[in-house]
Amino acid sequence: MEGATGVMRKVASYISMLDDGELDLDRLLEKPKMNIERQRSFDERSFSELSIKIRPFDGFENMFSAGGARSGFDTPLSSATGRNSTEPHPMIAEAWDALRRSLVYLRGQPVGTIAAVDHAAEEVLNYDQVFLRDFVPSALAFLMNGEPEIVKNFLLKTLLLQGWEKRVDRFQLGQGVMPASFKILHDPLRQVDTVVADFGESAIGRVAPVDSGFWWIILLRAYTKSTGDLSLADSPECQKGMRLILNLCLSEGFETFPTLLCADGCSMIDRRMGVYGYPIEIQALFFMALRCALIMIKCDAEGKDIVERIVKRLHALSYHMRSYFWLDFQQLNDIYRYKTEEYSHTAVNKFNVIPHSIPEWVFDFMPTRGGYFVGNVSPARMDFRWFALGNCVAILSSLATPEQSAAIMDLIEARWEELVGEMPLKITYPALEGHEWMIVTGYDPKNTRWSYHNGGSWPVLLWLLTAACIKTGRPQIARQAIELAESRLVKDSWPEYYDGKLGRFIGKQARKFQTWSIAGYLVAKMMLEDPSHLGMITLEEDKTMKPILKRSTSWTR
């Protein structure tokens, strides 16, 4: 867990809720409209075919349907205990109660859920805050349950925080940066609520959360798709918010790759774990956020330029990722036989990866059928580790081709014991041990082998796995994973993570009643029950994005 202990010290990041900025957004805080009739299609369009003269919203009716199920627009309202018609699991009601207990209110309105409601924990650290990334499964649960107001409130509140001036010492952060988390302080005497936000300036390591803005965009699209309320995404405030986030990522610099260069610990893995450079998690979220933004950003005078830049970047990014991050048996064999020190355009080993750097475990881990996006690719460096979030988001966003998506699922099935074991799902595989752990984590005692970010098992990832399973037509895999989770989660009081090679032990420092473990379970259950919910969190394949690969790899055949 990152963050300063105790109350966060802030100068720039303080705002009183009576500040003026709040009022501008008040009109948007009306109840969202569940107006099905007015819904224009909110689906993806080919970014190749996109004419920037046309509003990306209009006229696209190819709703996603999984296994013939209806689309995810009209989520009917249901009871507070979820909407399982057939014998709801007893855990569901308990999970909803726990989720509601985590709600955070601002001036009487729910605006988010805190990371953990663990009264037994000795140190609160910043688990009493609303984390943007942690709120995503909560938001999806509420949307799927027909309760969009809280999601709208959250989107607007965080948008307001984006407008703050953010500093680390004397350095001013980019305008578009979204906070990692925020907290509401109630002053019962003065009767005012104060919001405190952390953009990385309080976080351990002082890293800004690159994923927050991407999740914000993804959630805005999920909200819009689920409710049919276009007015929020259409509002000048949200349009500007999206543009600011994307301006941070689409500006020109010295890059030779379309992937996004990041510091270590800038996403869910928010500690030093060798995820600096071009981590898969960020690249997959970047891709998904770009596609979601393309659907939502208006092609008006202010948006036209950014739409053009998004389209270009998507082309380059999907080509790069599908070509260079993809690893399967054939590709591994090719790298194993790579020549090095090749110069000029004819180079096959473009990044000069030294075959000797392939770790031993990969040769055993790689099944004959199956593949995955590796953790990182940069000059002379391939991080061969498996990262669950990035691979699942690659499937959901269709960054992975259908063949690659199927191959990722094949890998999960073939390596079930390693990646799922007794508790879904390993955040990364394998763990860093010994000397490598010392060097890469800087002797981090929280990230010892098979613990926490270093090969720990995170129940929150269940919703991503389930969504990926449904999208690839393999719901039975999700069912197995959910059964495993059900055998432990309530009994263990919804831990944040599990430790050990098989994920058998409640994590060393795991919080109990971790909100995203609870919400992740609910979302997984609701999607299995009604796969049409998937539409709010998936994007269909863009057929024009097939990679033109010269080398023979099994997924291109």
Nearest Cα residue to 210 out of 271, 156, 286: 286
- Spell out the SS3 assignment of 344-389: CCCCCCCCCCCHHHCCHHHHHHCCCCCEEECCEEECCEEECCEEHH
If one asks whether residue 139 binds ligand GLC (CB under 6 A), the answer comes out as no
Among 43, 118, 134, 410, binds ligand GLC (CB under 6 A): 134
CB of 221 to ligand GLC, least distance (A): 21
If one asks whether residue 211 binds ligand GLC (CB under 6 A), the answer comes out as no
Among 42, 64, 73, 131, binds ligand GLC (CB under 6 A): 131
Identity of the residue, 131 or 437, whose beta carbon is nearer to ligand GLC in the bound complex: 131
Among 104, 106, 115, 470, binds ligand GLC (CB under 6 A): 115
d(CA 332, CA 348): 14
Query: What per-residue string of b and e applies to 104-125 under the rule 16 or more CB within 10 Å gives b?
Result: bebeeebbbbbbbbbeebeebb
Identity of the residue, 284 or 539, whose beta carbon is nearer to ligand GLC in the bound complex: 284
Identity of the residue, 446 or 546, whose beta carbon is nearer to ligand GLC in the bound complex: 446
CB of 16 to ligand GLC, least distance (A): 26
- Both tokens assigned to 459: 């129940």
Q: Which of residues 294-323 bind ligand GLC (CB under 6 A)?
A: none
If one asks whether residue 133 binds ligand GLC (CB under 6 A), the answer comes out as yes
Based on C-alpha coordinates, what's the Rg of the chain?
Answer: 22
Place of tokens 């690719």: 377
Identity of the residue, 243 or 271, whose beta carbon is nearer to ligand GLC in the bound complex: 271
From residue 345, alpha-carbon distances to 97, 349, 478 in Å are 59, 10, 44
- Both tokens assigned to 229: 């309320």
Residue 144 main-chain phi, psi, to 5 deg: -65, -25
Identity of the residue, 134 or 530, whose beta carbon is nearer to ligand GLC in the bound complex: 134
CB of 127 to ligand GLC, least distance (A): 6
If one asks whether residue 214 binds ligand GLC (CB under 6 A), the answer comes out as no
CB of 269 to ligand GLC, least distance (A): 6
Helices 236-250, 304-320: crossing angle, 10 deg rounding: 50
CB of 116 to ligand GLC, least distance (A): 7
Identity of the residue, 219 or 233, whose beta carbon is nearer to ligand GLC in the bound complex: 219
Identity of the residue, 270 or 499, whose beta carbon is nearer to ligand GLC in the bound complex: 270
The residue type of 66 is A
If one asks whether residue 410 binds ligand GLC (CB under 6 A), the answer comes out as no
d(CA 302, CA 248): 16
CB of 450 to ligand GLC, least distance (A): 16
Q: Which of residues 227-286 bind ligand GLC (CB under 6 A)?
A: 268, 270
Nearest Cα residue to 280 out of 429, 475, 460: 429
The answer to whether 400 and 394 are in contact (CB under 8 A) is: yes
Q: Looking at the DSSP assignment, which residues form a beta bridge with residue 182?
A: 130, 197
Identity of the residue, 2 or 418, whose beta carbon is nearer to ligand GLC in the bound complex: 2
- Give the range of 40-48, 127-135, 390-398, 482-490 binding ligand GLC by CB under 6 A: 127-135
Count residues contacting ligand GLC (CB under 6 A)? 8
If one asks whether residue 385 binds ligand GLC (CB under 6 A), the answer comes out as no
Identity of the residue, 398 or 428, whose beta carbon is nearer to ligand GLC in the bound complex: 428
- Give the range of 106-114, 129-137, 225-233, 328-336 binding ligand GLC by CB under 6 A: 129-137
If one asks whether residue 223 binds ligand GLC (CB under 6 A), the answer comes out as no
d(CA 512, CA 489): 10
Q: What mask, x for binding ligand GLC by CB under 6 A, covers residues 73 to 112?
A: ----------------------------------------
> Residue 143 belongs to what H/E stretch?
helix 132-144
CA angle, 308 then 312 then 316, to 5°: 165
Identity of the residue, 1 or 151, whose beta carbon is nearer to ligand GLC in the bound complex: 1
- Give the range of 48-56, 128-136, 249-257, 413-421 binding ligand GLC by CB under 6 A: 128-136
Residue 280 main-chain phi, psi, to 5 deg: -60, -40
CB of 7 to ligand GLC, least distance (A): 17
d(CA 59, CA 300): 17
Nearest Cα residue to 209 out of 126, 296, 303: 126
d(CA 151, CA 523): 15
- Give the range of 131-139, 328-336, 338-346, 369-377 binding ligand GLC by CB under 6 A: 131-139
Give contact residues for ligand GLC (rule: CB under 6 A). 1-2, 115, 131, 133-134, 268, 270
